[in-house]
Amino acid sequence: MVENKNILEVKNVTVSFDGFKALNSLSLEIKKSQMIAIIGPNGAGKTTLQDVITGKTKIDNGKIYFKNNDLSQFSEHAIVELGIGRKFQRPTIIENISVWDNLCIALNTKKTFLSCLLTKLKQKDLNKLLEIINTINLEEKKNLIAKNLSHGEKQWLEIGMLLMQESDLLLIDEPVAGMTETETKKTSDLLLNIAKDRTIIVVEHDMNFIESLNVEIIVLHEGRVLTRGNMNSIKRNKQVIDVYLGR
Amino acid sequence: MKIIIKFFYVILVFTNLNYLLANNNNLRNHILELDTKDFKKKIVSIEKISEIKTDLSLLTLKSILNGKLFIRKSDKKILLVEIIDRKYNIYDFFNEKELGIEKKRKLKKIKINNKIRSILNNKIALLQLSSGTTRQKIEAIFDVIKEGNQETLIIINELLLKEKDKELLLNLNLAKNSIIAKFGTEIEKIEAIKNLSGITNNNIVNILRSIVNDKIISENIKLEATKSLEASLRNIKLNNIIKTTFFGLSLGSVLLLAAIGLAITFGVVGVINMAHGELIMIGAYCAYVVQQIIPTNISASIIVSIPVAFIFTGFVGILIERLIVKNLYGRPLETLLATFGLSLILQQTVRSIFSPLNKTVYSPEWMSGITRIGGLELTNNRIVIIIFTLIVFFIVVYILKKTIFGLQMRAVTQNRKMASSMGINTKKIDMFTFAFGSGLAGVAGVALSQITNVGPNLGQNYIIDSFMVVVFGGVGNLFGTFIGAFGLGLGNKLLEPYVGAIVSKIFILLFIIIFIQFRPKGLFSLKGRIANE
Amino acid sequence: MNKQLTENKKSLITNIFLLLGDTTGKYLITILIISIFLLPILHIYIPEDSYTISLLGKYLCFALLALSLDLIWGYAGILSLGHGAFFGLGGYMMGMHLMREIGDRGVYGNPELPDFMVFLNWEKLPWFWYGFDSFLFASLMVILVPGLLAFIFSALAFGSRVTGVYFSIITQALVFTLMLAFFQNNFGFGGNNGLTDFKDILGKDISSKETRGALYICSAFMLILGYLICRIIISSKIGNILVGIRDRETRMRFLGYNTTVFKIIIFTISAVLAGIAGALYVPQVGIINPGEFSPIKSIEIVVWVALGGRGFLYGAIIGAIVVNVLKSYLTIISPEIWIIFLGLIFILVTIYLPNGLTDLRRLIKRYYGRK
C-alpha cells in the first residue's frame, strides 16, 4: 500500500449560511511539508475553509481528512491534538498575561486540568521555550504583558504559540495585514524558516508577500477552487484576472 | 305649577314613609316571634317576613342565615352582630348605628336548623328574583337551581311570563327544568333532563349526577340523565380548555408587554437592562399619578397615562443610556451590574416618594366586569389587555419594518460595523432605541396597573420572566419574543391545574434552563458568521 | 532569565509557601491566623458580649463566598448571578443536620420528626432527610449537593457554549427557581420559615460562648484554606489558562484546551467553596430560609467582589468584609440609605473602578506621585 502523501484532503465540502453557499463542493489536497498560499476575492470562502478544517463550523456536505482521520469525528480541541494549529486574522493572543506565559500555555503537553495544576516545566520544555522565543525575536520582551506588544510582535507571538504546539499543519490567516515593510520582511523570513519541517497554509491578500514566499498558490472563488499553480502561471491565468477585476 | 309638584312629592314621600314604617313594625314583630324554640312557629314567621318583600326583610333573612341576627334580652332590641376577636360588636338592625360591644350572655341568637336553612335559601332567592338588577336576579336563579321546589316553580313560571330579558329567560328556563327534573312526573322529568343536556352550571351537573346515582329511579330517566350528564361534562371540559387558553393568552400578553421593550434594547444595543422592571414600575406609577390629577374621569386618565408613561420612561431611558450604559459599551456584564444597581436606587426612590404601600389604579367601567360566552366567564380587563398588547406589538412591528428609524435599528442589530460604515449614527440609534424600549416598558406598566396593585416591587416580579421570554424566543427577533411570551404563558397556565401555580412556574423556569442548553440562541436566532462572533 | 527558570521550576510544595508572595494576601492571612488565637479568648473573657464573634464569623463566611465567586468571575470571566444557590444549599444541608440534632426537644417533642413536619401532619421522615443525623454524612452532603448541582448545571451550560450574559441570566433563573421551590411547604425543607431553633452542634450548646468561638475558628480556618486552594490554582498554569478562557476562549480551544472541562471544574470547585461557606454560616446565625436564594442576595455577592477588586482573591475577601460592615452600620441608621448606597456602589464601581478598591489605591498613589 502506498503511503498517503497528502496531509490534508478536502472532499466536496459544502457549507451554507441561510442559503448562501460559503463553500460549494470544494475539493483540494495538500501534501506533507508543503507551504501553500490561498488567495481569492472577498467571499471566496477562505475564512470558512479554515473554520471547517479547525472544526469551528460544521460541514453540511462532504468530508475532510487530516492524516487520514475524518475530521467530522473530532471536536475543536481534539483536532488541535491531531496536529492542526490556527492563526487568526487579527492577532489572537491572551492579552492580559506575559509573553512567556502565552508561550507556556501553548506548550505541547497534556492539557487536562490535573496535569496543568500539578506538572511543572521540564528542562526539555524550557529549552524549547527559549528556542522559540528566539525564533520569533521576542526574547527581550518575554516578561512584558502581551497587550503592550506592537501589532507585528503580537502576530509573531501568535505564530510562536503555534510552534509551541508542534502542529503538523499551520493555518495562517493574513499574517502581514497592517504590518510595516520591515515587519513584513521579518514575517516572511519567519514563515520560510519554520516551513522546513511542517505544512503551512497561508491565506493572504498581499501579493508581494506571497511572491516573496515563492510557493504554490490556490485561488478560491465563490466557494470552490478556481485554479492552483505558481505565481507566474496564476498571474497569467485569464479566469483569475477576470475574478479579481470583476469582469 | 312648581308648588303643586312639590306638594305631590311631599305627599308621596310621606305615604311611602308611612308604608315603610308600618312594614318595619310588622317586620320587628315577626322577628320577635322568631324568639321561640318551636321550629314550626319559626317557619311560619319566616314565611311572613318573606311576604313583606322589602330590602330589610331580605336583609333579615340573610342575617338569620348567616347567624348574625340577635335579640337583646333586656329591651328586645333587634341587633346585627359582628364577632371580631371573640368580641360581640352590635349594630342597630334598622338604622345600622353602631352600639358598641355587648357581652355574649346578654344577647340571644336566632337559631335555625337545616330545614329552615333550606327554606331561607329559597325565600332569599325568591325575593332577589323579583327585585334588583339583572345580575342579582341571575345570581338568585342560580340559588333557586340549588334549592328549588314546587313552590318556587310557580313563581318561576310567573316570572317567565313577565320577564323580557333574554339572558334572564334562559336562566329561568334552566331553573324550571332543574326543578321539574327533580319533582315532575316521569315524562316531564325526561323532557326536562333532555333540556338540561350539555349545561355546564355546577348545580345542574350536581342534580343530573344525583339522578344518575339515584337507585330507585326508573331506568328511562337514568338513561336520559346519563346522556345529559355526559354532554355537560364534555362541555365543562371544553370550557376549561378555553378558559385555560384564555388565562394563558392573558399571561402571555402580560409577558409580551413586559418583554418587548427588553427584547428591543437587548437585541439592538446588546445590553441587558436590569432596571427594565423598574421602568415598568415607573410606568405604572405614571398611571397612578395621572389618575390623581384627573380623578373624575377614570377612562380618560388611563388613556392619557399611556403617552405620558411612554414619554416619561423613555426620558428616563435616555438618562440611563447617557449616564450609565454609554460608559460601559462593550462590557455587557458590567452593564448588567450597573443597571442592577440603578434598579435598586429607582425602587428605593419610588418607595420614599410614594411609600412602600401598594397603590390602586382604578379601572374604567369598560374594563371591569365580566363577559359571558356560553357558560364561560372572561374578565374584561384581561380581554382588553390582550387586545392592547396585540395593538402595541403591531405598532412596534410597523415601526421596525416600515420606518427609517426601524430600518436603521434593524441594520445595527444585524451588523453594527457595517451599519456604521453606511453612515448610520449608531450611537444615536442606540440612544433612541434605548428610549423606545424604555418607553414600551412604561406602556407595559400602565397596562399592568390595571390587573395588579402598583407598588415599588412591581417590576421585580416581571423582570426574570421577561428575560426568560427574550432568551427563549431568541435575541434580536420580535417574532421570537411573541412566540416566546405566548408559549410560556400558555405553558404555565396549562401546567397550573395539575401542579399548582408555583410549581408550574418552577417547571417553566427549569424548562427554559434546559432549553437554553440545547438552543443557546433561543428559538429563532440570527445565523451566519457575524452572528456567531 | 534565570529568575524565570527558577520560578518555573518551583515544586508544588514550595509553591504553597511562596504563593504568599502577594503582600496583601500575606497580611490578610496573618491577620486571620492571629484572630484565630486572639478573638475566641477575648470573647470568652469579655462577659457581656456574645454577639460580636458570631457577627465576625458571619463576615468570614461571606468572605469565603466572595472568594469562590472571584475564582470564576475574576479569572475565568464567568459571572454567576446565582451563587447564593450553592451557599444556600450548603446551608440547608448543615441546617438539616442541626434540625436532626434537636431530637425530641422541639415544641412538639416528636423524636422522629422536625417541628415543621409535625405541624404539617407528616407521618414519617421523607427519604432525603435520611442520614442527616450523622454530622459526617451532612458534611459530605455540604460538599456533594452544591458540587453536583454545579457540575450538572455547568456541564449542560458550558457544554452547549452558553456564555456571557446568557449564562448570568440562567444562573439567576436557577437561584430564583430554588427560591420558589424552597418556599413551598410540601417541598420538605420547612417552607417559608426555613430551618431554625437549633439547639446543639456536635453535642455542644450552639449558643454557648465556647461553641461560637469554635465556629469562628472553623470559619477563619476554612477561609485560609479556601484562599490557599484558590491561590494554588491561580498560581499554577491554570491561572493563565483561565485568563485565556476569559479573554480569548477560541484561542484556548485552538491551543488544544478543552475549555468546557476547565470551566466545569472551576465552576464546581467554586460552588463547593460557596456551599462550605453556607454550612459554616448557618450555625452562626441560627437560621436558614429560602430568603438566601433570593436573586438580590446573589447579586450582592457580586458587588462585594466588584468593590474589593475582581481577580485578586484577597480583593474579594476585603470587599465582602467592607460591604458587610457598612451594611451592618448603615441598616441600623436607615435601611433606605443602605439600599441607595448599595445601588451607588454598583454603578460607581463598574464605571469608575473596574478593579475595585485596588484601583482606588492606584489612583491615590498616582495623585501623590504627581505631587
pLDDT digits (tens), chain A, 247 positions:
345 578 898 989 998 887 788 888 888 888 888 889 998 888 788 888 988 998 888 888 889 999 888 888 888 888 888 889 888 878 888 999 999 999 999 888 888 898 888 887 888 889 989 999 988 888 889 889 998 998 889 989 988 998 888 888 999 988 888 888 888 888 888 888 888 888 999 988 788 888 888 888 998 888 888 888 888 888 888 888 887 766 5
Does some domain include residue A187? yes
Q: Give the mean pLDDT of chain B.
A: 83
Nearest Cα residue in chain C from A94? C244
Residue B301 and residue B434 share a domain: yes
**What chains are in contact with B, requiring at least 3 Cβ pairs below 8 Å?**
A, C
- B272 within 8 A of B335, measured Cβ to Cβ: yes
Q: What b/e readout covers C292-329, taking b as 16+ CB neighbours within 10 angstroms?
A: bbbbbbbbbbbbbbbbbbbbbbbbbbbbbbbbbeebee
Does some domain include residue A229? yes
CA distance, residue A96 to nearest chain C CA (Å)? 7
Q: Tell me: pLDDT of B58 over 60.
A: yes
Tell me the CA distances in angstroms from B419 to A20, A43, B410, B422, B426, one per residue in order. Answer: 21, 19, 9, 5, 7
Does some domain include residue A102? no
Q: What is the CATH number of the domain that holds A175?
A: 3.40.50.300
pLDDT in tens, B439-464: 999 999 999 999 888 999 898 888 88
CA angle B476/B478/B479 to nearest 5° reads 125
Instruction: Return the pLDDT at C99.
Output: 93
pLDDT band for B533, please (50, 70, 90 cuts): very low
CA angle C216/C222/C225 to nearest 5° reads 145
Residue B41 and residue B126 share a domain: no
**Residues B529, A18: C-beta atoms closer than 8 Å:** no
Q: Tell me: pLDDT of B345 over 90.
A: yes
Instruction: Return the pLDDT at C47.
Output: 66
Choose among C166, C176, C345: nearest Cβ to B471: C166
Residue B428 and residue B376 share a domain: yes
Residue B163 and residue B94 share a domain: no
Residue B285 and residue B385 share a domain: yes
Residue in B417, B526, B529 to test binding to A, most A beta-carbons within 10 Å? B529
Distance CA B273, CA B317 (A): 10
A48 interfaces chain B, CB cutoff of 8 Å: yes
**Which positions in chain C touch B509 (Cβ < 8 Å)?**
173, 176-177, 180
Q: Tell me: pLDDT of C16 over 70.
A: no
Q: How many residues does chain A have?
A: 247
For residue A143, the surrounding DSSP H or E stretch is none
Q: Where are the beta strands (DSSP E) in B336-477?
A: 370-373, 376-379
**Residues B338, C162: C-beta atoms closer than 8 Å:** no
**Which positions in chain C touch B471 (Cβ < 8 Å)?**
166, 169-170
DSSP B287-301: HHHHHHHS-S-HHHH
Q: How many domains does chain A have?
A: 1
Instruction: Return the pLDDT at C273.
Output: 97
A187 interfaces chain B, CB cutoff of 8 Å: no
Among B95-99, C102-106, C303-307, the range with the most confident prediction by mean pLDDT is C303-307
Range with the poorest average pLDDT among A97-111, A170-184, C8-22, C301-315: C8-22
Grid cell listed for C213: 468561638
Q: What three-state secondary structure class fits C204?
A: strand
Does some domain include residue A180? yes
pLDDT in tens, B394-417: 999 999 888 988 888 888 877 788
**Residues B527, A47: C-beta atoms closer than 8 Å:** no
**Residues B341, C183: C-beta atoms closer than 8 Å:** no
Residue in C344, C350, C355 to test binding to B, most B beta-carbons within 10 Å? C350
What is the predicted ipTM? Answer: 0.85
pLDDT band for C220, please (50, 70, 90 cuts): very high
Question: Domain boundary residue among B112, B128, B153?
Answer: B112
pLDDT band for C98, please (50, 70, 90 cuts): very high
**Which positions in chain C touch B464 (Cβ < 8 Å)?**
172-173, 176, 295
Residue B244 and residue B226 share a domain: no
pLDDT in tens, B267-292: 877 788 899 999 999 999 999 999 99
Q: Tell me: pLDDT of C62 over 90.
A: yes
**Residues B516, C162: C-beta atoms closer than 8 Å:** yes
Grid cell listed for C286: 441560627
For residue B181, the surrounding DSSP H or E stretch is helix B166-183
Question: Domain boundary residue among B205, B221, B238?
Answer: B238
Instruction: Return the pLDDT at C92.
Output: 97
**Residues A80, C255: C-beta atoms closer than 8 Å:** yes
Does some domain include residue A158? no
Grid cell listed for C161: 457554549
Does some domain include residue A103? no
For residue A179, the surrounding DSSP H or E stretch is none
Residue B426 and residue B329 share a domain: yes
Instruction: Return the pLDDT at B525.
Output: 65
More confident residue, B192 or C259: C259
**Residues A48, B528: C-beta atoms closer than 8 Å:** no
Grid cell listed for B5: 309638584
**Residue range B487-493: mean pLDDT, rounded:** 92
> β-strands B78-84, B69-72: how paired?
antiparallel
Q: What is the CATH number of the domain that holds B258?
A: 1.10.3470
For residue B95, the surrounding DSSP H or E stretch is none
Inter-chain CB pairs, A–B, below 8 Å:
11
| φ, ψ of residue A23 in degrees (nearest 5) | -125, 135
**Which positions in chain C touch A143 (Cβ < 8 Å)?**
4
Residue B199 and residue B50 share a domain: no
Torsion of CA B34, B39, B41, B44, to 10 degrees: 90
Does some domain include residue A149? no
pLDDT in tens, B210-263: 888 877 778 888 888 888 888 888 988 888 888 889 999 999 999 999 999 998
Residue B182 and residue B43 share a domain: no
C244 interfaces chain A, CB cutoff of 8 Å: yes
Does some domain include residue A115? no
Helix intervals (H) in chain C: 2-9, 12-18, 23-45, 52-70, 84-102, 115-119, 135-159, 164-183, 209-235, 237-247, 249-254, 259-285, 295-308, 314-333, 335-352, 357-370
Instruction: Return the pLDDT at C36.
Output: 84
Question: Domain boundary residue among B90, B112, B134?
Answer: B112
**Residues A117, C243: C-beta atoms closer than 8 Å:** no
Q: Tell me: pLDDT of B79 over 50.
A: yes
Q: Tell me: pLDDT of C4 over 80.
A: no
Instruction: Return the pLDDT at B14.
Output: 58
pLDDT in tens, A57-114: 888 888 999 988 888 888 888 888 888 988 887 888 899 999 999 999 988 888 889 8
**Residues C351, B340: C-beta atoms closer than 8 Å:** no
Give the residue numbers spanning the domain of A11. 6-96+164-245
**Residue range B51-62: mean pLDDT, rounded:** 78
Nearest Cα residue in chain B from C353? B334
Phi/psi-derived region of residue A178, left when phi > 0, alpha when psi is between -120 and 50, beta in every other case: left
Distance CA B133, CA A85 (A): 84
Q: How many CB atoms lie within 10 A of CB B132?
A: 15
> β-strands A169-173, A84-87: how paired?
parallel
Give the residue numbers spanning the domain of B202. 116-238
Residue B449 and residue B309 share a domain: yes
pLDDT in tens, B2-28: 666 666 666 655 555 566 666 777 778
Residue B169 and residue B60 share a domain: no
Distance CA A82, CA C16 (A): 35
**What chains are in contact with C, requiring at least 3 Cβ pairs below 8 Å?**
A, B
pLDDT band for C316, please (50, 70, 90 cuts): very high
**Residues A77, C265: C-beta atoms closer than 8 Å:** no
**Residue range C342-354: mean pLDDT, rounded:** 90
Instruction: Return the pLDDT at B3.
Output: 65
Instruction: Return the pLDDT at B460.
Output: 84
Q: How many domains does chain B have?
A: 3
Residue in C10, C75, C251 to test binding to A, most A beta-carbons within 10 Å? C251
Inter-chain CB pairs, A–C, below 8 Å:
87
Residue B190 and residue B108 share a domain: no
Share of chain C above pLDDT 70, in %: 92
